[in-house]
A and B are shown apart, each in its own frame.
Chain A
Amino acid sequence: MGRYILKRIGYMFLTLFIITTLTFFLMHSIPGDPLAHMAKKLPEQIRLNYYEKYGLDKPVIVQYGKFLKNVITKGDLGESLRYPGRSVTETILKNAKVSGRLGIQAIVIGVTIGIVLGIIAALNRNRWPDYLVMFIAILGVTVPVFIIAALLQYLFTVRFELLPTTGWGKFKHTILPTIAMCFGSIATYARYMRSNVLEVINQDYILTAQAKGVSPFNVVRKHVLRNAILPAITILGPQIAGVFTGSFVIERIFGIPGLGFYYVSSISDRDYTMIIGTTIFYATLFVFSQLVVDILYGVVDPRIRVSKSGK
């Protein structure tokens, strides 16, 4: 296992390198430059000065070399072009903390509710609790999140002035965004759990356990849950990565200083350093979560030994 993990970490760096390189050249190939956000065409001299200061006058390949050197030797992702003076690394870490807190809150609640609903539905297959539970679980994701968020905000902050409209810092600020965000997890997990529990429940070992007189509760807890939860882990992986990258829509509507904003705005602002920074951040989380998922496969399901893959 140890060698396998080591090898996977090696691959991880290679993958990250390719992602970074690809993104670097892709982003320089879309038209526009970081000065565009200033909305007007600036005099030529101003533009020359700006390009020179930020090294944008050099060929892309030279810029890439310089960037790589800084990342590898100093671990420095550089300075934002859109927000002069701000370090990309610091900005990402600071905002990821905010997004992370909100996202984890939403995922924990969403996954818990989703798993419980999924099991209830499966155990009552094709009877009214099944329909009701699944209907509730799905309802929250049938409407785009920007509509749900806008409705929640109007309802709970204007119609009934119960919660703050926007802002960040206290628990009460997180309530509405968390609700808006957890619908997705509820629906996803409820459906996957229902599907998996149904599959597991017909396996011979469940029958055996039942025949041996194991209580229904213990059957579910010891046999069904453990075997049914595997595919759920597959989707949890990328979701955890997504937690720290935030949600553009939710952050915008509730005025939350998270990272989601930068994923969209850095691209439309052509803030090259920020684009690369956020990409590396997301890719690292994502690739790492893949590794963890693969390892967890082995732990949760003893039948699978990834290390022995190959036939």
Chain B
Amino acid sequence: MRFKKYLSLTIVLVLILTALTGCGKKDAVNDTGSQESEGQVVEKPLDSEQYLNLVMVAEPSTLDASKGSDSYSNGILNEVLEPLTRLEEDEDLKNVLRPAGASEWTHNEDGTVWTFKIRDAKWSDGVAVRAQDYEYGIKRSLAQDTAAPYAYLLAPIKNAAEVNSGQLPLEELGVKSLDDNTLEITLESPTPYFLQLTYQRVMMPQRQDVVEKHKDKYGSEIDTLVYNGPFTITNWVHNSEIVLTKNDNYWDKDIVKLNSVNIKILNDENAIYNSLSNRSIDSSGVGKPEWIEKFKGNKDLNHIEVTNPQTFFKFFNTKDKVFSNANVRKAFALAIDREELANVIFHGINVPAYGWVSPNISIGDEEFRSVSEEPIRKLAADNPNPKALLIKGLEELGMDTDPSKLTVKMTLGSTDQWFRTYGEYVQQMYNKNLGVNFEVEFVEWPVFTSMAEKGEFQIGYMAWGAEFNDPISLLSLLKSDAGSIQTGWSNERYDELIDLASKEMDPKKRLEYFAEAEKILLYDEAVLAPTVYPKYNIFRYKYVQNLGVTPFGTAGYKYGFTQGR
């Protein structure tokens, strides 16, 4: 879920994926007036036939755990391979890291050497699961010739960067299996969030014999795959359907109740909603407000609201003459009426965003957003008149201070209908609030990325989601050497703070570092202008029970079942 495909898809379509990977926030479950909320039904027996029909909005790119990075394949891999750990949910729906492929783990005193005990288990073809399979998976993900897009997630592992760039041989990587059941991972330096990486696809086990047999084809069709997760894949018609079937060789198979899960691949929104209406599918995310209202009125459906760890934001090209000035950036960051935007454009579904780190991301045991104030709220309180800021900024730049003589262009990386509406709305808003000539340009996403790279834009628009449950996942994107968001901005103090936080084990200190970094980013420099945190709405027939709902959770369908279908 943390990874978006196209920005355009993110906003319109990925919403639906949440239903599949089971992201959600249980404490926000809006039960539509019925007592049968999830997990409370006791009187009904389990259905004799245990199956689910679900939907996915795009074809998984590949089920090779090393290659591909799309959320769709992430979701499937989660069901069919067993990572070292799973992020599950306790009764209060708090995320807890539970043993999965590894039955237990320890680390040395300074937290640089981790030892995982690999559980005795079998692959779907009967071969024993060994520590070497995990070792091979990690090494393959980092090998230069695999060209794994997600390899950078493994950066904390010793020599990861050198191995990935081919400067050091694979053997120098800090990963080795001491015996069939013991995996030892050595890190560059203590990493507070290291365990959050152990359930990522790039650390999943892979069988060397199978991979070498199928070479580049590995992961592209089901006959090239073996499984050690709760499910196996029994049918995969590209762009149409994936059928998961319970894996009888799974170590924890007694807990798995679903015999099959049929996932349809559909990317037309109306087709998805029609399917949910006539029960062709049992659960789906719903993005359109009209449909949300309609489904809310359906007594058979549970409504689950999910605030996802993502932020939609505008970003400024600080190398551009006008936007090199912090006051100008602040003016543009403040001239957005976020409440109105959330209401008009997002129909009250999304949450206005005044910070960079989105809700539902925790630091230590606390949610970051609940302990650190959103910087733009303060910026707005201190600067009630954005237009004055703009004029001040123009003065500092030595430009004509009449805003009506200033022409500014925003480039949107999508040609979707939704973006057209959005662009037209923003255009009117800036015309009104700042009195500038505001132009909007719509280009295809790949064209946008290439323009952003070359710095051929003034204001851009994107969405970004956290890859793992730590503020650093989002804050590190703005480090001057990250190059992820093409603002052209760099700040020594900011870089220093992020480096400190990435090695600090004390959550309190980390919180201080992060808070200061976010303040530099949004209050002092206004490099970005977050607009909303997306909120997704899942509708699920009430007979569907126990699918994971937390945003980062990776429990998936393992514990799911149906009751009273």
Direct A–B contact in the complex, CB atoms closer than 8 angstroms: yes
Docked-complex contact A46 and B149, CB < 8 angstroms: yes
Given contacts A38-B70, A83-B61, contact A158 B278 (CB under 8 A): yes
A256 to B, closest residue via Cβ: B240
- Give the CA-CA distance A82 to B61 in the complex, in Å: 7
Pick the contact of B446: A36, A48, A52 (CB < 8 A): A36
Asked if B239 and A268 sit within 8 Å, CB to CB, the answer is: no
Choose one: A94, A161, A255; the contact of B266 (CB below 8 Å): A255
A18 close to chain B: CB less than 8 A: no
A45 to B264, CA, bound (A): 35
Residues of B276-320 at the interface with A, using a CB-CB cut-off of 8 Å, are 277-278, 280
A30 to B266, CA, bound (A): 28
* A residues in contact with B275, CB < 8 Å: 165-166
CA distance A168 to B241 in the complex (A): 9
Closest to B61 in A: A83
In the complex, per-residue mask of A174-197: 1 if CB is within 8 Å of any chain B CB, else 0: 000000000000000000000000
| Contact of A85 with B486 at beta-carbon distance under 8 Å, contacts A31-B446, A255-B271 already known | no
Contact partner of B68 (CB less than 8 A), chosen from A54, A84, A91, A268, is A84
Tell whether, in the assembled complex, residue B274 and residue A158 are in contact, meaning their CB atoms are under 8 Å apart. Answer: yes
Tell whether, in the assembled complex, residue A50 and residue B149 are in contact, meaning their CB atoms are under 8 Å apart. Answer: yes
A150-B270, A252-B268 known; A45-B164 Cβ under 8 A: yes
Check B161 for interface membership: any CB of A closer than 8 A: yes
User: How far, in angstroms, from A261 to B216 measured CA to CA in the complex?
Assistant: 24
Residue of A nearest to B445 (CB): A36
Residues in B with CB closer than 8 Å to A150 are: 270
Question: A153 in the interface, Cβ–Cβ < 8 Å?
Answer: yes
A153/B271 contact (C-beta < 8 A), A31-B446, A32-B450, A256-B240 known: yes
Nearest residue, chain A, Cβ from B14: A39
Q: Which A residues between 252 and 291 are near B, CB-CB below 8 angstroms?
A: 252-257, 261, 268-270
Which residues does chain B contribute within 8 Å of A31, judged by CB atoms?
A: 446-447, 450-451
A43 touches B240 (CB 8 A): no
Is the Cβ of A30 less than 8 Å from the Cβ of B264? Answer: no
Q: Closest residue to A51 on the B side, CB-wise?
A: B147
Q: A40-B484, A49-B164, A85-B217 are in contact. Are A32 and B444 (CB under 8 A)?
A: yes
Q: Does B485 contact A (CB under 8 A)?
A: yes
Which of A45, A79, A165 makes the CB contact (< 8 A) with B280?
Answer: A165
Assess the A85–B147 pair: CB atoms within 8 A.
no
A85 near B62: Cβ-Cβ < 8 Å: yes
A204 surroundings in chain B (CB, below 8 A): none
Q: B270's closest neighbor in chain A, by CB?
A: A150
Structural contact, A270 and B446, CB atoms closer than 8 A: yes
A43 CA to B161 CA in the complex, in Å? Answer: 11
Q: Is B67 in contact with chain A by the CB < 8 A criterion?
A: yes
* Interface 9-residue window, one of B2-10, B191-199, B496-504: B2-10
Q: What residues of chain A lie closer than 8 Å to B67, measured between beta carbons?
A: 84-85
Q: CA A94 – CA B221 in complex, angstroms? A: 13
A86 within 8 Å of B (CB atoms): yes
Interface membership of chain B positions 39-74, coded 1 if the CB is closer than 8 angstroms to chain A and 0 otherwise: 000000000000000000001011010011110000
| Minimum distance in angstroms from A238 CB to a CB of chain B | 25
How far, in angstroms, from A161 to B237 measured CA to CA in the complex?
25
Which single member of A53, A252, A257, A261 contacts B147 (CB below 8 Å)? A53
Contact A49 B274 (CB under 8 A): no
Cα distance, A154 to B271, chains bound together (Å):
8
Give which listed residue, B69, B161, B444, B452, contacts A38 with CB less than 8 A. B69
Provide the A37-72 mask, 1 if CB < 8 A to any CB of B, else 0. Answer: 111111111101110111000000000000000000
Q: Does B91 contact A (CB under 8 A)?
A: no
CB contacts (< 8 Å) of A268 on chain B: these are: 444-446
Which A residues between 230 and 261 are near B, CB-CB below 8 angstroms? 252-257, 261
How long is the Cα–Cα vector from A7 to B411 in the complex, in angstroms?
51
Task: Identify which of B5, B151, B483 contacts A44 (C-beta below 8 A).
Answer: B483
In the bound complex, what is the Cα–Cα distance between A261 and B62 (angstroms)? 17
Contact A52 B147 (CB under 8 A): yes
Specify the chain B residue showing the minimal Cβ separation from A161.
B278
A164 within 8 A of B: yes
Asked if B3 and A50 sit within 8 Å, CB to CB, the answer is no
Residue in B4, B219, B264, B482 whose beta carbon sits within 8 Å of that of A255 in the complex: B264
Contact with A along B430-467 (1 / 0, CB 8 A): 00000000000000111101111100000000001000
A293 at the binding interface (Cβ < 8 Å): no
Interface centre among B147, B151, B280 (most CB of A within 10 A): B147
Question: Which residues on the B side are within 8 Å of A49 (C-beta)?
Answer: 144-148, 151, 164-165
B213 within 8 A of partner (CB) = no
Q: How far is the CB of A151 from chain B (nearest CB, A)?
A: 10
Q: What residue of chain B has the Cβ atom nearest to residue A258's Cβ?
A: B239
Interface members, chain A 117-165 (any B CB < 8 Å): 150, 153-154, 157-158, 161, 164-165
B509 CB–A CB distance under 8 Å = no
A206 contacts the other chain (Cβ, under 8 Å)? no
Within the assembled complex, what's the spacing in Å between the Cα atoms of A37 and B534? 21
A294 close to chain B: CB less than 8 A: no
Distance in angstroms from B435 CB to nearest chain A CB is 33
- What residues of chain A lie closer than 8 Å to B164, measured between beta carbons? 45-46, 49
Residue A76 CB within 8 A of the other chain: no
Give the distance to chain A from B415, nearest Cβ to Cβ, in Å: 9
Residues in B with CB closer than 8 Å to A165 are: 271, 274-275, 278, 280
Per-position 1/0 for B211-254, Cβ under 8 A of A: 00010111111001000000000000111110000000000000
Please state if B266 and A166 are interface contacts (CB–CB under 8 Å): yes
The 10 residue pairs across chains A and B that have the minimum distance between CB atoms: A32-B446, A85-B220, A36-B446, A257-B240, A31-B450, A53-B147, A49-B147, A50-B147, A257-B239, A84-B62
The chain B residues found within 8 Å of chain A, CB to CB, are: 3-7, 10, 59, 61-62, 64, 67-70, 144-149, 151-152, 161, 164-165, 214, 216-221, 224, 237-241, 264-268, 270-271, 274-275, 277-278, 280, 444-447, 449-453, 464, 482-486
Since A41-B453, A254-B271 are in contact, a sample of 9 more A-B pairs with Cβ atoms closer than 8 Å, ordered by chain A residue number, is: A30-B447, A31-B451, A49-B147, A84-B68, A84-B219, A85-B218, A157-B280, A165-B275, A269-B446
List 19 A-B pairs, Cβ < 8 Å.
A32-B450, A36-B446, A38-B149, A40-B484, A41-B486, A44-B483, A48-B165, A83-B59, A83-B220, A84-B61, A84-B67, A84-B219, A86-B62, A154-B274, A157-B274, A167-B264, A252-B271, A253-B270, A257-B238
Which residues of A pack against B, CB within 8 Å?
Answer: 30-33, 35-46, 48-50, 52-54, 79, 82-87, 91, 94-95, 150, 153-154, 157-158, 161, 164-168, 252-257, 261, 268-270
